[in-house]
């Protein structure tokens, strides 16, 4: 009887857990972008300059980068259930505090509280998912949970624009509270409580790696918001120097926070590098396209949001197709071909002229959403395909940090290329639209080249993740 009850509980958990993770990913991704279209309204209400409001975004991003590395240790020590629920509570409280902010200082502090919750809830939720599902079922579960990562950045500017226009900026934060409460209630009943019996926190390694993440994140923010290259390169160099110090530390320490032998697992190594390389192009599109529609075509923020919105719808179709595609073609071929297609689609955004209808972009962005869905699911699952049980927590945490930095690098990279072309008036014939077109060509071409990373995969890699494999 007890065995039957245990099986029923496990089946219920497996049904609900992907949805719980999906809510946390959706909140985090929505909150990373919803503020962008709302900053002028918030600045006006708080009596601040819109140019000074960047701190509200930077504080959130830096907090994510700082605390994500410790998520695996906290889950191992205190259990995935307690840490996940605590992270949802922190995120919801941070959202409430944001809506009650009376000045920029209050808002920045509230965003830090939000960031602490956000830095833990997604990695810990993914860790619970990885430990709950056998590898042959993990692809399907991860596939469902990853969709909000595609929808959030698309809906963020659209929802933010409507809320500011028709309600008030406070609602862009209050929207998180009912979602967070739903996640908390579901987690109390269905979130499994995994922990590790071997706990040895590498404080020195955490501090070194956190410093590296912090410096790299600061350099990303500076890249997108300054014309002075020297301080940016200095901060970036210090970030890579701290990574080198971490490498030296990890070689000597018996139990580093991120063991170096993680990188001896080829699929993990390729997955980490592939995430970093391909997101340079993928992550810049949700920023560059709405910006071009507003700046070059002179349309509203809401219009630009609607142009990008089909990406979220077609991502659903990608979700339903990716398992069949991977089962038929394997990870190596799928990722190489899929990255090429994404690169070509980004290049296609350079084709319409400034006098062409903006609705020409809708079919391109719609098809892009389909292949983005396949890309993210494939990269995320192949990265953890061959990790041993004792590497799951640290590998999952490192993958989350890498994804966060990769998204930041992609946004900064797109802005840098745009500014380079924008500064050369003769080359773009004094037409800002041409700067965007050339940027899409560069970003798309580099995305195509980044697909070569996946050549390092073996054609049989990921076989244990296939739905038909019961091992």
> In the CATH scheme, what is the code of domain 1-201?
1.20.1250.20
If phi > 0 it is left, if psi is from -120 to 50 it is alpha, else beta; for residue 330 that is: left
Give the mean model confidence (pLDDT) for residues 260-274: 84
Lowest mean pLDDT among 24-33, 126-135, 220-229, 236-245: 220-229
Residue 340 confidence (pLDDT): 95
pLDDT reading at 252 higher than 90: no
Residue 469 confidence (pLDDT): 46
pLDDT reading at 126 higher than 90: no
Report the percentage of the chain scoring pLDDT > 90. 9
pLDDT reading at 247 higher than 70: yes
pLDDT digits (tens, 9 = 90+) for 321-342: 888 888 888 888 999 999 999 9
pLDDT reading at 2 higher than 60: no
148 or 134, higher pLDDT: 134
pLDDT digits (tens, 9 = 90+) for 412-436: 778 778 878 877 766 676 677 788 8
Please give the structure tokens belonging to residue 116.
């602490």
Lowest mean pLDDT among 184-188, 357-361, 399-403: 399-403
pLDDT reading at 344 higher than 90: yes
C-alpha span between 16 and 344 (Å, rounded): 37
The two most distant CA atoms of the chain are separated, in Å, by 79
By C-alpha distance, which of 337, 363, 373, 361 is closest to 448? Answer: 337
Please give the structure tokens belonging to residue 241.
């120097």
**Quick one: CATH architecture of 262-471?**
Up-down Bundle (1.20)
- Cβ proximity of 194 and 131 under 8 Å: yes
Lowest mean pLDDT among 122-126, 135-139, 263-267: 135-139
Distance of CA 160 to the CA centre of its chain: 19
Segments of the chain assigned to CATH 1.20.1250.20: 1-201, 262-471
Alpha-helical (H) ranges within 167-265 are 171-174, 176-190, 203-225, 229-252
Q: Please give the mean pLDDT across all residues of the chain.
A: 79
Helices (H) then strands (E): counts for the chain: 18, 0
> Which of the four pLDDT bands, split at 50, 70 and 90, describes residue 461?
confident
Residue 339 confidence (pLDDT): 94
Residue 367 confidence (pLDDT): 92
Residue 155 confidence (pLDDT): 67
Lowest mean pLDDT among 13-17, 252-256, 439-443, 445-449: 13-17
> Which of the four pLDDT bands, split at 50, 70 and 90, describes residue 49?
low
Residue 471 confidence (pLDDT): 37
Please give the structure tokens belonging to residue 270.
């390729």
């Amino acid at each position: 009887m007890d065995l039957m009850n245990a099986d029923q509980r496990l089946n219920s958990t497996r049904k609900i857990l992907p949805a719980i993770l999906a809510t946390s990913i959706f909140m985090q991704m929505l909150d990373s972008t919803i503020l962008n279209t709302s900053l002028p309204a918030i600045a006006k209400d708080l009596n601040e300059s819109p140019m000074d409001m960047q701190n509200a975004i930077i504080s959130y991003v830096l907090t994510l980068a700082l605390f994500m590395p410790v998520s695996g240790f906290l889950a191992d020590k205190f259990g995935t259930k307690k840490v996940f629920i605590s992270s949802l509570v922190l995120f919801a409280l941070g959202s409430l505090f944001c809506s009650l902010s009376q000045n920029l200082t209050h808002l920045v502090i509230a965003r830090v509280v939000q960031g602490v919750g956000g830095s833990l809830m997604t990695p810990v939720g993914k860790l619970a998912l990885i430990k709950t599902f056998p590898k042959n079922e993990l692809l399907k579960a991860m596939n469902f949970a990853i969709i909000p990562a595609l929808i959030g950045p698309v809906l963020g500017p659209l929802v933010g624009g409507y809320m500011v226009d028709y309600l008030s900026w406070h609602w862009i934060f209050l929207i998180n509270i009912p979602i967070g409460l739903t996640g908390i209630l579901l987690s109390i009943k269905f979130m499994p409580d995994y922990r590790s019996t071997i706990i040895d926190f590498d404080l020195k390694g955490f501090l070194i790696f956190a410093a590296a993440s912090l410096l790299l994140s600061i350099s990303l923010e500076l890249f997108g918001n300054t014309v002075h290259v020297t301080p940016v390169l200095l901060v970036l160099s210090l970030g890579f120097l701290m990574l080198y110090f971490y490498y030296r530390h990890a070689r000597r320490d018996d139990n580093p926070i991120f063991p170096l032998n993680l990188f001896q697992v080829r699929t993990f190594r390729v997955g980490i590098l592939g995430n970093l390389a391909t997101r340079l192009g993928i992550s810049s599109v949700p920023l560059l396209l709405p910006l071009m529609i507003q700046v070059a075509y002179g349309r509203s923020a809401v219009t630009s949001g609607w142009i990008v919105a089909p990406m979220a719808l077609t991502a659903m179709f990608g979700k339903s197709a990716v398992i069949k595609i991977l089962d038929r073609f394997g990870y190596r071929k799928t990722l190489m071909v899929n990255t090429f297609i994404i690169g070509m689609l980004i290049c296609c955004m350079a084709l319409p002229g400034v006098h062409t209808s903006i609705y020409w972009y809708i079919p391109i962005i719609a098809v892009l959403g389909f292949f983005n869905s396949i890309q993210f699911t494939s990269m995320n699952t192949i990265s953890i395909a061959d990790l041993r049980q004792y590497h799951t927590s640290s590998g999952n945490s490192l993958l989350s940090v890498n994804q966060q930095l990769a998204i930041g690098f992609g946004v900064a990279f797109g802005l840098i290329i745009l500014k380079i072309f924008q500064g050369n008036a003769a080359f773009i014939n004094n037409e800002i639209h041409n700067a965007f077109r050339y940027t899409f060509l560069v970003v798309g071409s580099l995305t195509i080249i980044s697909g070569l990373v996946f050549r390092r995969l073996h054609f049989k890699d990921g076989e244990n993740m296939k739905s038909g494999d019961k091992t």
